[in-house]
Amino acid sequence: MGTHKDFGYYDAKHVYSWAIVNSRLLGQDRIVSNTESIRTSPYRLFVSIYRPTSPSSENCSVLLKSLKIVTHENQTIAVLPNKNEKFEKSPEGYKAIFTFDDMKLEYEDYILHLSASVIGCEESHEIEIKLFLNRNYQEDKISLWDKLMGV
């Protein structure tokens, strides 16, 4: 019997009438020993913007103007680079996804400050939000059968 420790985070979401903004921090899996594995830093940050309707233009995209991770004490941990992503068709509608790899973060709660513009669409929109990235520690017992099945 082994143990898997997940130093994870809850997903954060903000709903607009025209779109949904999601963020997720996903840790890297590591095997510590034959009986223990962990998921922890470095993390990968995903920020996605979903639209339920089709953009009227192929140039419809999201310009990420500012993305900053701060602690609850207002200490800036990371300032991430500006990016531009076009909306792509997905099962949920249309999405623009931003990915930031190798985020070396201590395991504590954070606030994600996000500023973006939806441009080149039938309507332009501004996004100015704070998303709360709260810890969600989980520990699971893993049996030999789970390991054999790849769980």
Q: How confident is the model at residue 148 (pLDDT cuts 50, 70, 90)?
A: low
What is the distance between the alpha carbons of residues 141 and 91, in angstroms, rounded to a whole number? 34
Q: Give pLDDT, residue 150.
A: 65
5-30 confidence digits (pLDDT tens)? 999 999 999 999 989 999 999 999 99
Q: Which domains does the chain have, with CATH numbers?
A: 2-149 (2.60.40)
pTM as predicted: 0.87
Distance in angstroms (rounded) separating the CA atoms of residues 31 and 16: 40
